[in-house]
Structure 1
Amino acid sequence: MRNKERDFSGKETQHEVWKYNASLNKWIQVEYLNIGRWRHKMAVLSGKVYAVGGFDGITRLNSVEAYDPFHNCWSEVVPLLVNVSSFAATTYNKKLYVIGGGPNGKLATDRTQCYDPAANKWSLKSPMPVEAKCINAVTFNDHIYVVGGAMKALYSYSPAEDSWTLVTQFGHERASCGIAACNNKLFITGGRDEKNEVIATVLCWDTENKKLTEECVLPRGVSHHGSVTVRKSYTHIRRIVPGAVSV
């Protein structure tokens, strides 16, 4: 959203919301959430930021709130069909997708929930090939890519065909990892392995060459984090010559 990224509340600050302004390299606090939550996800859709599902310390939530940056306020929208936390969320073609997640502390679901803001309605799409939680998603080239949990794999979903495809497999689990698209590649950051140990490596999936490589190692291992791509802002300065016609 215009070179601004938002980071929502966590376990210790359930209602707080902060936005990061990349141009100023500064974090700014905005209006509090109506319902405190963690293990939720956020997504940007049609100029609004959505805080979806999560856990309030007692139960998994179906609550969905939309943030209006112009009025700096949150409002409730139609709730999820399935209460979940630790799911994947992303947007495509003016719709919000909520994939997988945990309906409780032990189980995972394969449900794909789709929100259409124009109709103000949720619907169920084709389920994931596996039940999974502690996952993340990114939209790239008309597909939604999902990774994490105990899947040891990267899956893609085609909203146009409402179908799932196995993209590639990993040697280890990468639960609660991050994923972001940059320069026609997908970068999978951190996570936790089968021993619940934090991972510091970054995997790169080359979408053109269909090749998986280890890109680099983070300064420190991370999990339960977010990975996003922020576009750079460029100011173009053109010399104005006296008498010249400006076009």
Structure 2
Amino acid sequence: MKKFQLSIIVFLIASVLFAQQVPESVNYQTIIKNTNGQYVSNESVSLQLNLVKDSPSGIIIYSEMHVAQTNDYGLINLKIGEGLSNDVFGDIDWSSGQFFLALKVSIGNTGVYEDMGAFPFSSVPYALYAKDANVQLEEGEGITVDNKQVSAKTTSPLWNANALQNKPVEASEPAIGDVLVYDGSNWVPSQQNTVPVGTGVLSFEAEAPNGYDFSGNTIVTKKKSGEWTSVAPMNIKRRYVAACEYEGKLYAFGGEEQGDFTTDHVEVYDPVLNQWSTRAAMPFERVHASVISSNGFIYMAGGFEDNSHFGTTRVDVYNPIDQVWSSISPMNTGRWGNNIFAYNNKLYAAGGQDALSNSNFVNSIEEYDFTTDSWTTIFTLPQLHIGTKMAMLDGIIYFVYSSQEDNGLNTYSYNINTKEWKTHPPLNTTRLDFALGTIGGHLVVTGGIYNGEHINSTELFSTESNSWISIVGDLTEGAYGLRGAEVDGKFIVAGGVDVDGLKTNVTQVLTLSDIEEVIYLHLSQ
């Protein structure tokens, strides 16, 4: 599959149309280039455009789809308001607040969309605004008003057929993609396809929206690229290990070996030495459990015990120094496929299933108090899907499930501090039995399987833009049932089931890097 990184995105042309009737569309252009700066020429492109109110992550008040063909110069022309939509463009109240244009692009109509963020939609045709606003319009120099319909007089001190603001426009014929640039004496067609903000065409003071920064006179995106590398494999091939970080190393407990036998193995990966070492076996067998390190210990909650098919209430404690196991009070509810988290000197157990057959999602979050050695249910979750994965960022537990059945493609969160439950945008790629964790302040999802096909791609969830972003870089070896954790700013996954249906000991490391993509804005009248 061809991959593109869009380096030039949005050219908004909010045309001021002097018509007898209010226009119900806005002209829009975009030029698309690949990572080498070359035009994506004569390619079919799908665009999803959402008008968002009040902030880049605000409420979507209008959404539409377009399928268009780029020309030789990667240029696309379309009209917002005339795409495929279930919404009515004419019902938008342009006077009700600030609007942003959120854009997703799919090259070659693959169905895989890249989220390009949201941009201030600040140049709304005045006739659209006046249609909704309770304003009194007055004629000005060169302008006539007839019942809120704005028209231009044939003579204007600001522009005519040969001048803009009394500065001559060169008579030479422009080429496709040219823009007018003021050279100090005349307006001349320029072959540069982008003009940085502030070079004489437009200058302003503004605050960059989420996901973007100002750099001089340009706007740059804050995007991420990922590189996966294979490192030393585990000593034992298995899936569904319980994995966590402890003092810069990855610990892997239990899991299922070939033949789906539950195991008691414990291994530790040292990224510095690129080496797995075997530790003393657990005094029990465990699969589908969850582990977290806190206060010098590793806590294991839930899972199947010794090939049983019922979630356990046990919470075991591992001392990595002397490799001795102990336990604390059990959870109130047995669960497997759950997660355990440490936050503000407390433990939290969330989600999971109660049994393998005829199972139900365990819709509770329990909190453990070290001072009383007791668990308390603090929140009752909605009845989420079996197979929902969980991860924590800054005291917020995220619940991620990806299946097109029963409208199950969703991301949710519960804030422990504010006790707030939220719904977020879904993953871009449908997948089951994937690995979920954190990296560099983002959620990360990788691997999985769907309809018998292994999924190798990786997505990051940005809390700034409240969206999932597909990043460059696939797993070196696809797998499902893999598990991992963040270690020193990198996401390390191990084990799983490979494309041949066999348990694997492959270990892979994701390293993120920043990408700065320059975005230029063009306004024309």
What TM bracket, shorter-length normalisation? 0.7 to 0.9
Give distance in 2, aligned partners of 1:54 and 1:154.
24
Which of the numbers 365, 383, 406 marks the counterpart of 1:154?
365
Unaligned runs of 5+ in 1: 1-22, 236-247
2:264 to 46, 52, 62: 62
AA matched with 1:82:
F
- In the alignment, which residue of structure 2 is the partner of 1:88? 290
> What is the rounded CA distance, in whole Å, between the counterparts of 2:297 and 2:272 in structure 1?
21
Flag the 1:68–1:180 CA change in 2: closer, same or farther, 3 A.
same
Equivalenced residue count is 211
> Judging changes above 3 Å, is the alpha-carbon distance between structure 1 residues 214 and 112 closer, same or farther for their aligned structure 2 residues?
same
Given that residues 410 and 425 in structure 2 are in contact (C-alpha distance below 8 angstroms), is that contact kept between their aligned partners in structure 1?
yes
Q: Does 1:125 align with 2:325?
A: no
Which of 278, 291, 308 is matched with 1:76 structurally? 278
Using the alignment, how far apart are the partners of 2:270 and 2:373 within structure 1? Answer: 30
CA contact (8 A) 1:179 1:189 kept: yes
Query: Aligned-pair RMSD on alpha carbons?
Result: 2.7
How much does 1:112 deviate?
0.8
* Bigger Rg over Cα: 2
Structure 1 residues 169, 114: CA separation in 2 closer, same or farther (over 3 Å shift)? same
Taking structure 1 as reference, are residues 136 and 191 closer, same or farther at Cα in structure 2, changes over 3 Å only? farther
Deviates more, 1:218-227 or 1:132-141: 218-227
- Per-residue CA deviations over 1:43-97 (Å, capped at 9, x if unaligned) read 1101211111000033111111011222111111122232111111111112111
The 1:105/1:191 distance shift into structure 2, 3 A limit, reads: farther
- CA drift of 1:222 comes to 4.2
Q: Which moved more, 1:125-134 or 1:172-181?
A: 172-181
Secondary structure of the corresponding residue to residue 436 of structure 2? coil
Q: Tell me the residue number matched to 1:106.
A: 309
Which residue identity is paired with 1:107? Answer: F
Separation (CA, whole Å) in 2 of partners of 1:36 and 1:231: 28
**Matching residue of 2:64:** none
| Cα distance in 2, alignment partners of residues 144 and 175 from structure 1 | 23
| Cα displacement (A) at 1:191 | 6.6
Aligned-pair CA distance for 1:220: 4.1
Deviation at 1:28, TM superposition (A): 1.0
Counterpart check, 1:36 vs 2:216: no
Q: How many Å separate the matches in 1 of 2:266 and 2:411?
A: 31
The residue number in structure 1 matching 2:375 is: 164
List runs of 5+ in structure 2 lacking aligned partners. 1-223, 354-360, 442-488, 490-512, 515-525
Given the superposition, is the C-alpha separation of residues 210 and 63 from structure 1 closer, same or farther in structure 2, using an over 3 Å criterion? same
Question: How far apart in 1 are the matches of 2:384 and 2:412?
Answer: 12
- 1:229 corresponds to 2:434: no
Q: 1:227 to 1:198 in 2, by over 3 A?
A: farther
- Cα gap change, 1:49/1:230 in structure 2, threshold over 3 Å: closer, same or farther? same
| TM-score, normalised by the number of residues in structure 2 | 0.37
Distance, in Å, in 2 between the alignment partners of 1:163 and 1:221 is 38
Counterpart of 1:215 in structure 2 is: 424
Instruction: Name 2:176's counterpart in structure 1.
Output: none
**SS in structure 1 of the partner of residue 438 of structure 2:** coil
Q: Residues of 2 paired with 1:213 and 1:205: CA distance?
A: 7
Q: Cα gap change, 1:128/1:183 in structure 2, threshold over 3 Å: closer, same or farther? A: closer
Residues 191 and 224, structure 1, Cα contact 8 Å, conserved in 2: no
1:140 is aligned, of 321, 343, 361, to 343
Change (3 A) 1:83 1:199: farther
Percentage identity across paired residues of the two chains: 22
- Assess if the C-alpha contact under 8 Å between 1:33 and 1:74 holds in 2: yes
The alpha-carbon distance between structure 1 residues 35 and 68, as it changes in their structure 2 partners (threshold 3 A), is: same
Q: Whole-Å Cα distance in 2 between the matches of residues 90 and 155 of structure 1?
A: 15
The amino acid across from 1:164 in the alignment is: W
Q: Structure 1 residues 50 and 183, CA, compared in 2 at 3 Å: closer, same or farther?
A: closer
Q: State the alpha-carbon separation in 2 of the partners of residues 223 and 159 from structure 1.
A: 35
Which TM-score applies when normalising by structure 1? 0.75
Give the deviation of 1:184 after TM superposition.
3.7
Query: The residue matched to 1:217 in structure 2 has which SS?
Result: coil
Structure 1: distance between partners of 2:248 and 2:326? 22
1:76–1:171 distance in 2 versus 1, CA, 3 Å: same
SS in structure 2 at match of 1:54? coil
Distance in 2 (CA, whole Å) between partners of 1:145 and 1:198 is 28
Residue of structure 1 equivalent to 2:398: 187
**Native 8 Å contact 2:286 2:303 kept in 1:** yes
* Residue matched to 1:200: 409
Offset of residue 212 of structure 1 = 1.7
- The answer for the alignment partner of 1:48 in structure 2 is 249
Q: Which residue of 1 aligns with 2:45?
A: none
The alpha-carbon deviation at position 137 of structure 1 amounts to 2.5
- CA deviations 1:10-39 (Å, max 9, x no partner) are xxxxxxxxxxxxx87211111111111101
Residue deviations 1:148-168, cap 9 Å, x none? 223111222234543212121
Asked whether the equivalents of residues 135 and 176 of structure 1 are also in contact (C-alpha less than 8 Å), the reply is no
User: Which residue identity is paired with 1:96?
Assistant: I
Over 3 Å counting, the alpha-carbon distance change for 1:184 and 1:106 in structure 2 is: closer
* CA distance in 2: counterparts of 1:156 and 1:226, whole angstroms: 24
- Any idea what the Cα deviations from partners look like across 1:161-201, whole Å, max 9, x if unmatched? 43212121123144332222224422111178xxx968321
Question: Against the structure 1 CA distance between its residues 145 and 227, is the aligned structure 2 distance closer, same or farther, given a 3 Å change threshold?
Answer: farther
Do 1:135 and 1:146's aligned partners in 2 also have CA atoms closer than 8 Å?
Answer: yes
**Partner secondary structure for residue 287 of structure 2:** coil
Query: How many angstroms does 1:146 deviate by?
Result: 2.0
